[in-house]
Amino acid sequence: MKTLKARVLVFLTLWGVWLVLTAPWSVQEAAAGAVAAFLIAALPFFPSSPLEDLRLSPKALLYVVAYAFVFLKALVLSNLDVAFRVLHPKLPIAPGIVKVKTKLKTPLGRLLLANSITLTPGTITVETRGQDLYVHWIKVADADPVAATEAIVGDFEKYLEVICG
């Protein structure tokens, strides 16, 4: 079965969410959730899912954890940066849309990269076309695609390349 990996991941995600939602656990509730999650994961018409691009080697899982920390650090730093710009009396912004080229090949990798860029304040992904991401940047430091790529996605890409190529 081609979609087996995605089905297993869907089952684990659904069941995990169910278990967290029904926090003081009872065996009956957990079993009912497992049955429902299994039925959904075993649907005959399962759409092809980008989840199949996820790598599950130990190194990739380690990088998922590392990526969470790298992302949180970027989130906090850029939040403080935007807070500084908002409170500054002169409002030091120079907004513009720059083009960023990504090395990631898989749809899941590009999705995660675009969403990470959007979640960090100061940058919003406006559009993606193939390997180009068009990013709105609150203070354009460099309009050149290579330098902009390094400044915006340099940190994320290293980890995402290992997680989902």
Contact residues for another protein, defined by CB under 8 A: 17, 20-21, 23-24, 75-76, 79, 82-83, 86-87, 91, 93-99, 114-116, 118-122, 124-127, 129, 132, 134, 136, 138, 140, 143, 145
Distances (CA, A) of 117 to 20, 80, 85, 138: 28, 16, 18, 12
Q: Which is nearer to another protein, 31 or 83 (CB)?
A: 83
Integer Rg of the chain from CA: 20
Task: Please state the closest distance from residue 44 (CB atom) to another protein, in A.
Answer: 27
Q: Which is nearer to another protein, 36 or 77 (CB)?
A: 77
Q: Which is nearer to another protein, 42 or 97 (CB)?
A: 97
Task: Please state the closest distance from residue 1 (CB atom) to another protein, in A.
Answer: 26
Task: Please state the closest distance from residue 151 (CB atom) to another protein, in A.
Answer: 14
Crossing angle of helices 107-119 and 145-164, rounded to 10°:
120
Looking at this protein, which amino acid is placed at residue 12? Answer: L
Task: Please state the closest distance from residue 141 (CB atom) to another protein, in A.
Answer: 11
